[in-house]
Amino acid sequence: MRTKSRTGKRAVPSNSSKATEKKQSEILQRLTSKISNFLIQEKERIFLYSSFVIPFIAYWFTLPPGVTWGDSPEFANAAVSMGVSHPSGYPLFTLICKIFSFLPFSEKAYGMNLSSALFQALAVFMVYRTTTFITKNALISFLSAMVLAFSYTWWYHGRIIEVYALQNFLVSLIIYFVVRYLSDENIRWIYFSCIAFGLAFTNHLTIVLFAPAMLFVLGSKNWKENFHFRHLIKFTLIIGVFQILYVYIYWRATVAGSDTIIWNQPDSWTQFLYHVTGKEYSVFRKSASISTGVTRFINVLVKQFGPIVLGFAVLGALELFARSWRTAIFIIAVFLSYLIYNSSYNVMDIESYYLIQYMLLTIALGVGIDWLWKVREVPIPALSYAIPLLVAFTALSQIGSNWDLKYRDAIAHYFGHQSWKALPENSIMITDIDGPAFTMWYQAYSLHPKDKSRVVITRAMYMEKQKKWYRDFLRKKYPDVSWPSEGVAYGNKLYEQLIDLNYNKYKFFAATYYRVPFKNHVYLNQGWISSIVKPKVVFSGGIQPNKTLRWSYLTKIVRANRKEWYSGSFRKFKVNQEVGCVAEYINNHGGATLTWIIKSPDGKTYSKQTRKISTSEPISAHKFKVKDHASEGNWQCEIYENGRKISVLPFTVGK
């Protein structure tokens, strides 16, 4: 910078300062040039590594603290306690989760969640490699892979304990190996795909849907050589050797005893086949309509990817025929096989079955964008960048819309720990299938396996006539309980007998989605759990019986993406922290007038709210902040239904 001298004349920069400035400028130019050259030369490697690292970090960032609702805690329990999960048993996934449960985290389930993040990110990585191999366009392949990585259902399964992330990775390997084979016809790629196929078959049986497409691949060229006896024997041996993993199911069924849940107790050949073939769930196929299923699939695609992205994918599928008609038929054949199968299956988590189709659409998306970018002549050169920018914007908008998955289903972790802690010794807890039941299985058989004074019973399984294996397990696990005789009664009558036989010895509790109406007993809420008592029992705090309150809890309010999330269940809060006092009802509860009263340590009313809740509003909360001037100490939230006190939740406030 030039300055004035004492005489008022400007000082002229010395030669040395000019030389220094010139040298610094040259260094900056060389550094900029090196960085630019590195990015140009190494862009493919950067995109390659980023296609794994970026999704993996995102999935890790949004991992729940432990188990989630659904099958997650059942799989966690099977892994930690070395049990057998629901059909088809999933031995590969169980053993892998067992390994990840040893990671040095305070919560075993967190390590198992991390395994899904790893495999889901690896699947994105392989989809990127497949798309790059077809298009030879790293940028377009990367952008397409990011659209897949951050779509809602895909991201959701990259953060929970479920079989789908592992299956997606194994399927992505098969797709890559087959595409490579269709390019150079080297039989080694088929051998590699057989390895992945064999492993996938020990994880999820839907891998058999690849069979028609694989037969086409082998028969479309050199079919005499490919179907030669020596190759067929090798294919069979490679796939078959991995099926040894299913021995785990029989082994655990014969040695586990009453240690943990061994679903269907497959210790005989008949029971083993029944379990591993999944016949138990054939009922879900009888009630399904293919046309309804296809419509549902299309609606989900449009919702998660948008019509423009899907249009590019359709163009890509057409362009694939021009580049490699056999690759196009292979991808379309797999897509249609899964579409028909999924459309004829009627389960709550059906969107999870769409993930393999998402991978195939992503590959087609990359081909379509590459064709539009390279092949079509654009009058205005700048417009050639509009399409990849549009895809990049789609991926970024997905991140913005879905990053709040961090708060999705995290409450299940708190439900499990706090419900178990609330159970006194010599207690029996009745839960519903899936969410509450599996979460309590994880508590009882994995985290507290030696505690036999707290009994956990899954309502729907215990009362079902065909689930004798489950009742036998409970009798062996808890011999001190007076169990009703087998075959005397089923359904709710079985529970009434159970309570009558053990009421003087055990305390009964419930945490259920749907209430079981007992003739001689009522429910008294205690937060996450409710006591099952006789009508004239006087409960502490003046709490009155209720028929429809599922559970109540205190939470920290988190606002993200214009949504309100209940991030967990807590009993300690800081001053100025927004607190939610939550009342959660069973579905179709009939509506009610709720009043929340927050009382400070001196017993005075700090805040109060009254409002009506409709039948379609199962979750309601009173939100409040404890201001600076309020006293610290022991507070409580009282919940009233139609003027009757139905719950009292104590909590503490501190700095």
The tally of domains found in the chain comes to 3
Q: Which of 374, 406, 438 is the last residue of a domain?
A: 406
Band of pLDDT at residue 1, cut at 50, 70 and 90:
very low
Same domain flag for 497 and 397:
no
**Residue that is last in its domain, among 340, 375, 406:** 406
Q: 192 with 105, same domain?
A: yes
Same domain, 513 and 571: no
- Residue 536 in any domain: the answer is no
Q: Does a structural domain hold residue 3?
A: no
Does 254 share its domain with 314? Answer: yes
Domain that holds residue 424: 411-520
Q: Is residue 6 part of a domain?
A: no
Q: Could you report the per-residue pLDDT of 130-180, keeping only the tens digit for each?
A: 999 999 999 999 999 999 999 999 999 999 999 999 999 999 999 999 999
- For residues 566 and 430, what is the distance between their CA atoms, to the nearest angstrom? 25
User: How many CB atoms sit inside 10 A of residue 570's CB?
Assistant: 17
User: Cα(554)–Cα(367) distance, rounded to whole angstroms?
Assistant: 50
Tell me which of 18-22, 455-459, 587-591 is least confident: 18-22
Dist. CA 329–CA 320, nearest whole Å: 9
Same domain for 77 and 123, yes or no, is yes
In a domain, 35, yes or no: no
Q: 544-548, 586-590, 601-605 — which is least confidently predicted?
A: 586-590
**Residue 20 domain-assigned (yes or no):** no
**Residues 196 and 305 reside in one and the same domain:** yes
Does residue 402 sit in the same domain as residue 421? no
Residue-wise pLDDT for 49-62, tens only, equals 999 999 999 999 99
For 501-536, write each residue's pLDDT tens digit.
999 999 999 988 777 777 788 899 999 999 998 887
- Token output for 398: 């997905």
d(CA 531, CA 548): 13
CATH number for the domain spanning 565: value is 2.60.40.1930
Establish if 15 belongs to a structural domain. Answer: no
End position of a domain, from candidates 406, 435, 460: 406
**Choice among 70-79, 127-136, 393-402, 418-427 with the minimum mean pLDDT:** 393-402
Is residue 21 situated within a structural domain? no
Do 332 and 472 lie in one domain? The reply is no
Looking at the structure, do residues 108 and 230 belong to the same domain, yes or no?
Answer: yes
Of 58-72, 177-191, 195-209, 422-436, the poorest mean pLDDT is in: 422-436
| One domain, residues 328 and 451 | no
- Residue 614 and residue 568 share a domain: yes
The CA distance from 285 to 613, in Å, is 36
Q: What percent of the chain has pLDDT over 90?
A: 58
- Rounded to whole angstroms, the Cα distance separating 326 from 321 reads 7
DSSP-based three-state secondary structure for 499: helix
For the chain, what is the radius of gyration of the CA atoms? 30
Q: In the chain, how long is the greatest CA-to-CA distance?
A: 114
- The structure's pTM equals 0.90
> Do both 479 and 576 map to the same domain?
no
Residue 116 has pLDDT above 80, yes or no: yes
